[in-house]
Amino acid sequence: MQSSVQRSYEDAKQLYAKHGIDVDAVLESLANIKISMHCWQGDDVRGFLNRDQDLTGGISVTGNYPGAARTPEELRADLEKAFSLIPGKHKVNLHAIYADTEEKVELDRLEPKHFEKWVAWAKEQGLGLDFNPTCFSHELSKDGFTLSHPDPKIRRFWIDHCKASRKIGAYFGEQLGQTCVTNVWVPDGFKDVPADRLAPRQRLKSALDEVFAEELNPAHNLDAVESKLFGLGSEAYVVGSHEFYMGYGLQNNKLICLDAGHFHPTETISGKLSSLSLFTDGILLHVSRPMRWDSDHVVTMDDELLDIAKELVQGDLLGKTHIGLDFFDASINRVAAWVIGTRNTIKALMRAMLVPADALKRAELEGDYTTRLALTEEFKMYPFGAVWDYYCEKSGVPVREEWLAEVKAYEREVLSERGE
């Protein structure tokens, strides 16, 4: 006997089939897409090294919802809970400060061995790992500069940290048989208008050259660089601007990371993907939701998320794009935050696959913009929800909002025991 979810799916399939859309094939493609879920939503970007340090680097987490993970074991348990409510097999994105070790180790001395437990866990869970050097929340970044610092000794420390991070990334890739993306983001910038915009960029450029000097097997590690327009305390000038990293990434064959919150408020990353794709072999996304500024709200199914998904699917960019998430909200249950943001990202990709793309492109070529608009609007009401429900059921994860009861139970039984 078919479940009501299956019956609704069969009806939906027929509607889409009339437009030549093979829904079973869509779900097969969807199952192959990995989202890199960022570990730092689970503990408000605190990490386990230097836990006494405040969060710096011009980023901020607001809210005091109880239950943040305090140890690697707690964080892994929370990630497992979240993944049990999300269809598909994905990746976890770690920052260097999440090293799982009893050793008191400085960032520039980190080694693969400090992440062995993460790798063992990822293997057991069938997950991939991505990585990031942590160039913030540290004594040596407190004046706002790292790789572009005017003091060569401080610059050296951060260069060595980034070099160490790439080796850890390569270790992840080699151990897990899945390429690790190691993303370099530095907060460097000035609160007020600089006297010299060029010199910090010259220093950042040569520091990056040193960081990337060693060739690593691209099957194990791919490097990415992430730009930003402004941060808290770097409102006037950020050394690693979009133009800086567009140039650096293209010239040096690095993935360019586009974070949805790192541009002018009306500037979208969806609009940049097609252009960038013509000049690079790979792109990294930090899917986020900026609210008036780089606020890193949990990703919802808003127009920009749908547009990002549309560009990736219609532009055939899924093969060259690494999709990472980047939000941190401490005002709601943190496991729920992961589940909502990750399910939405997958859902948006599925919706983008469930449109009559060829018919729309044909109408456009023929100048029939009426058909283009009419079909686009009608498809906004097509029964993609039935397809999503079936995908969840088939993947063995809760259908619709059923996942929320599981998160609430986890909160009662596990998170609430952790205290404030």
Ligand X SMILES: C[C@H](O)[C@H](O)[C@@H](O)C(=O)CO
Please state the residue numbers annotated as binding site.
262, 294, 296
Partner touching 132 among Mn ion, ligand X, none, CB below 5 to 8 Å by kind: ligand X
Stretch that binds Mn ion, among 187-195, 282-290, 375-383, 391-399 (CB under 5 A): 282-290
Residue among 326 and 411 whose Cβ is closer to Mn ion: 326
226 has catalytic annotation: yes
Alpha carbon distance 271, 265 (integer Å): 13
The residue count for binding Mn ion (CB under 5 A) is 3
Which does residue 228 touch among ligand X, Mn ion, none (CB within 5 to 8 A, set by kind)?
ligand X
95 included as an active-site residue: no
- The option from ligand X, Mn ion, none interacting with 311 (CB < 5 to 8 A, set by class) reads none
Our answer to whether residue 393 is catalytic in this structure is no
Cα R_g (the chain), whole angstroms = 22
Closest approach, Cβ 95 to ligand X, in A, equals: 6
Let me know if 38 is a catalytic residue.
no
Instruction: Give whichever of 85 and 140 is closer to ligand X, judged by the CB atom.
Output: 140
- Would you list the DSSP string of 349-380? HHHHHSS-HHHHHHHHHTT-HHHHHHHHHHHT
| Residue 280 DSSP code | -
**Site residues (vs ligand X, CB under 6 A):** 40, 45, 59, 132, 185, 226, 228, 259, 286, 294, 326
The one catalytic residue in 185, 338, 388, 403 is 185
Q: Tokens 């610059």, residue?
A: 155
Closest among 273, 96, 266, 279 to 171, alpha carbons compared: 96
Our answer to whether residue 326 is catalytic in this structure is yes
Nearer to Mn ion, 286 or 351 (CB): 286
Q: Are 49 and 105 in contact (CB under 8 A)?
A: yes
Separation CA 139–CA 134 (nearest Å): 12
How is 199-264 classified by DSSP, letter by letter?
Answer: HHHHHHHHHHHHHT-S---TTTEEEEEE--S--TT-SSEESS-HHHHHHHHHHHT-EEEEETTSS-
Identity of the residue, 110 or 354, whose beta carbon is nearer to ligand X in the bound complex: 110
Q: Is 293 helix (H, G, I), strand (E, B) or coil?
A: coil
Which CB, 30 or 321, lies closer to ligand X? 321
Q: Whole-angstrom Cα distance, residue 314 to residue 329?
A: 31
Instruction: Name which of 3 and 62 has its Cβ closer to ligand X.
Output: 62
End-to-end CA distance of the chain: 47
Give, to the nearest 10 degrees, the angle between helix 384-395 and helix 334-353: 120
C-alpha to C-alpha distance for 313 and 140, rounded to whole angstroms: 42
Least separation, in Å, of the C-beta of 242 and ligand X? Answer: 13
Contacted by 188, from Mn ion, ligand X, none: CB < 5 to 8 Å by type: none
Among 326, 329, 389, 411, binds Mn ion (CB under 5 A): 326
The item of Mn ion, ligand X, none sharing an interface with residue 294, based on CB under 5 to 8 Å by kind, is: ligand X
**Is 286 near Mn ion (CB under 5 A)?**
yes
Among this protein's residues, is 54 annotated catalytic?
Answer: no
How would DSSP label each residue in 122-134? Answer: HHHHT-EEEEE--
Active site residue 22: no
H-run or E-run covering 149 = none
Residues 204-263 that bind Mn ion (CB under 5 A): 259
Tokens of 35: 């989202």
CA angle, 105 then 106 then 112, to 5°: 65
Tell me, yes or no, if 220 is annotated catalytic. Answer: no
Least Å distance between CB 93 and ligand X? 8
Give me the least distance between CB of 146 and ligand X, in Å please.
13
Our CB check for Mn ion shows the closer of 95 and 114 to be 95
166: partner contacted, choices Mn ion, ligand X, none (Cβ within 5-8 A by kind): none
Give the integer Cα–Cα distance in Å for 305 and 217: 32
* DSSP 8-state secondary structure symbol assigned to residue 132: E
262 among known catalytic residues: yes
What the block records as the tokens of 66 is 């109880």
The C-alpha atoms of residue 52 and residue 404 are separated, in whole angstroms, by 33
Q: What residue number has its CB nearest to ligand X?
A: 185
| In contact, 152 and 119? CB cutoff 8 Å | no
State in angstroms the smallest separation of the CB of 386 from ligand X. 35
Least distance in Å: CB of 35 to Mn ion?
14
- The one of Mn ion, ligand X, none whose footprint includes residue 45, by CB under 5 to 8 A per kind, is ligand X
Measured from the CB of residue 238, what is the shortest distance to ligand X in angstroms?
Answer: 10
Active-site position among 100, 188, 326, 329: 326
Binding-site members for Mn(2+) are 262, 294, 296
Q: Residue numbers of the site for Mn ion (CB under 5 A)? A: 259, 286, 326
> Residues with catalytic annotation?
185, 226, 228, 259, 262, 286, 294, 296, 326
